[in-house]
């Protein structure tokens, strides 16, 4: 396989990076906590979307001890809207582990960093390289793309076995004297020069040695098999209201949005659900509701996750009396006034409804 010399490849990218890099707050520090925080926030997230969250977390929790001491609900509330909430829970757990087991100091070696919960090979390499200048290669989607195109690698990047091929090459290319700058450079190069759909090949410093450019395969590389189609889910939320308070519950493990708050939920196989079926469900749950009390949904709410496509409807019910204790125990519902609801961590879909229904006008 024809390849450019390692040193030339690395130096070309470092030189390009010096001229074109974006000014981002986590690049102005070698503090492993800030680097780790930025990597967690930016996983599967665009920089423009993730940067305000990073700045929000740094302001709220300037040290790993501050994050460790925060209540999880508060952390999830700050994370709200970014999605992939398991990242926030793992981040909180890792902060507590670092604060307690490591006395607030992140491990300074890749092999130790990767043992932390929620810290995979990519994040461990980023912290090791950026904070401690360890000679390890960071391998993210941008790096996969650059390596596949420049070196003509046609192995499917969605297949786990292919990672070893890319990782071996990536490790060989890292210069021992500048692992931090080089890794930032190749990631930035993939982000703004060698982009997925419209790479700037005309002004690319690697054009002459790029396999994809010279073989007319820029749009074919990298090879990535399509992910499975997102499965549809249909949520029917019952919004119980009593004297200005609303009943919500905290979602449990084993499904999406763990630790976030939503309303009483009935999930069906289809979008359309007869009101009689919904009323029967409530009766079986010990909640006697008359048809006249059930306000039909005003519209459908749609929310797309990486693996699920959710359609939700909200049915508002004004109660005359509080729900019985046994119902609250069985359903895990609890009444919250508007001020408390505003402070709870909620899925975006729930926040959207609360705003539309003018329950929370400031969201």
DSSP 205-250: TTGGG-HHHHTT-TTT-S--PPPPPPEEEEEEEEEEEETTEEEEEE
Question: Could you tell me if 265 and 125 lie in one domain?
Answer: no
Q: Is the pLDDT of residue 1 over 60?
A: no
pLDDT tens profile 283-321:
888 887 876 678 889 899 999 988 899 999 999 999 989
Q: Which of 149, 184, 214 is the last residue of a domain?
A: 214
**CATH assignment of the domain containing 284:** 3.90.79.10
Question: Could you tell me if 181 and 34 lie in one domain?
Answer: yes
pLDDT tens profile 111-150:
999 999 889 999 999 999 999 999 999 999 999 999 999 9
pLDDT at position 7, please? 86
Q: Which of 214, 247, 264 is the last residue of a domain?
A: 214
Question: Could you tell me if 324 and 283 lie in one domain?
Answer: yes
Is 362 inside any structural domain? no
User: Which of the four pLDDT bands, split at 50, 70 and 90, describes residue 4?
Assistant: low
Question: Could you tell me if 208 and 262 lie in one domain?
Answer: no
Mean pLDDT, all residues of the chain: 93
User: Which of the four pLDDT bands, split at 50, 70 and 90, describes residue 3?
Assistant: very low
Question: Of 39, 134, 220, 241, which one is the catalytic site residue?
Answer: 39
Question: Could you tell me if 265 and 123 lie in one domain?
Answer: no
Question: Could you tell me if 72 and 141 lie in one domain?
Answer: yes
Question: Would you state the torsion angle of the CA atoms of residues 250, 253, 254, 256, taken in this order, to the nearest 10 degrees?
Answer: 50
CB atoms within 10 A of CB 360: 18
pLDDT at position 87, please? 92
What's the number of domains the chain is made of?
2
Q: Is the pLDDT of residue 2 over 70?
A: no
Is 328 inside any structural domain? yes
> pTM for this structure?
0.85
Question: Could you tell me if 180 and 209 lie in one domain?
Answer: yes
Question: Could you tell me if 313 and 349 lie in one domain?
Answer: yes
Is 269 inside any structural domain? yes
The CA distance from 132 to 130, in Å, is 6
Is 220 inside any structural domain? no
Name all contacts of 216-219 with Cβ < 8 Å and 24+ positions apart: 217/149, 217/152, 218/149
What is the enclosing helix (H) or strand (E) of 311?
A: strand 308-318
Is 39 an active-site residue? Answer: yes
Question: Could you tell me if 201 and 259 lie in one domain?
Answer: no
Q: Which of 154, 187, 214 is the last residue of a domain?
A: 214
pLDDT tens profile 232-273:
999 999 999 999 999 999 999 889 999 999 999 999 998 998
State which residues form the domain around 123: 6-214
Question: Could you tell me if 351 and 269 lie in one domain?
Answer: yes
**CATH assignment of the domain containing 80:** 1.10.340.30
pLDDT tens profile 204-218:
999 999 999 999 999
pLDDT tens profile 98-113:
999 999 999 999 999 9
Question: Could you tell me if 184 and 53 lie in one domain?
Answer: yes
Is 224 inside any structural domain? no
pLDDT tens profile 27-40:
989 999 999 999 99
pLDDT tens profile 148-206:
999 999 999 999 999 999 999 999 999 999 999 999 999 999 999 999 999 999 999 99
Question: Could you tell me if 255 and 340 lie in one domain?
Answer: yes
> How far lies 361's CA from each of 206, 248, 338, 357, in Å?
52, 18, 10, 8
């Amino acid at each position: 396989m024809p390849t450019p010399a390692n040193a030339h490849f690395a130096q070309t990218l470092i030189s390009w990076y010096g001229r074109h890099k974006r000014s981002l707050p986590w690049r102005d520090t070698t503090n492993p906590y800030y680097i780790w925080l930025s990597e967690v926030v930016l996983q599967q997230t665009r920089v423009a979307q993730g940067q305000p969250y990073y700045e929000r977390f740094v302001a709220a929790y300037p040290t790993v001890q501050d994050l460790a001491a925060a209540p999880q609900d508060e952390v999830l509330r700050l994370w709200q809207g970014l999605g992939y909430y398991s990242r926030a829970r793992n981040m909180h757990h890792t902060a507590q582990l670092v604060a307690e087991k490591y006395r607030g100091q992140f491990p300074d070696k890749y092999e130790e960093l990767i043992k932390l919960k929620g810290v995979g090979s990519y994040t461990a390499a980023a912290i090791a390289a950026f904070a401690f200048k360890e000679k390890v290669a960071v391998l993210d989607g941008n790096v996969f793309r650059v390596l596949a195109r420049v070196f003509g690698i046609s192995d499917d990047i969605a297949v786990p076995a292919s990672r070893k091929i890319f990782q071996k090459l990536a490790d060989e290319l890292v210069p021992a004297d500048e692992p931090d700058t080089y890794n930032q450079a190749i990631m930035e190069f993939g982000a703004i020069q060698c982009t997925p759909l419209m790479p700037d090949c005309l002004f690319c410093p690697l054009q002459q040695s790029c396999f994809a450019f010279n073989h007319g395969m820029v749009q074919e590389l990298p090879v990535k098999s399509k992910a499975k189609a997102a499965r549809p889910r249909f949520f029917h939320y019952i919004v119980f209201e009593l004297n200005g308070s609303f009943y919500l519950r905290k979602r449990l493990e084993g499904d999406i949005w763990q630790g976030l708050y939503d309303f009483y939920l009935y999930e069906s196989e289809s979008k359309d659900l007869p009101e009689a079926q919904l009323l029967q469900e409530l009766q079986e749950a010990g909640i006697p509701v008359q048809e006249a009390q059930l306000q039909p949904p005003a519209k459908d709410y749609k929310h797309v996750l990486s693996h699920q496509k959710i359609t939700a409807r909200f049915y508002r019910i004004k109660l005359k009396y509080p729900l019985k204790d046994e119902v609250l125990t069985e359903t895990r519902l609890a009444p919250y006034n508007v001020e408390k609801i505003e402070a709870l961590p909620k899925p975006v879909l729930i926040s959207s409804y609360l705003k539309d229904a003018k329950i929370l006008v400031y969201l």
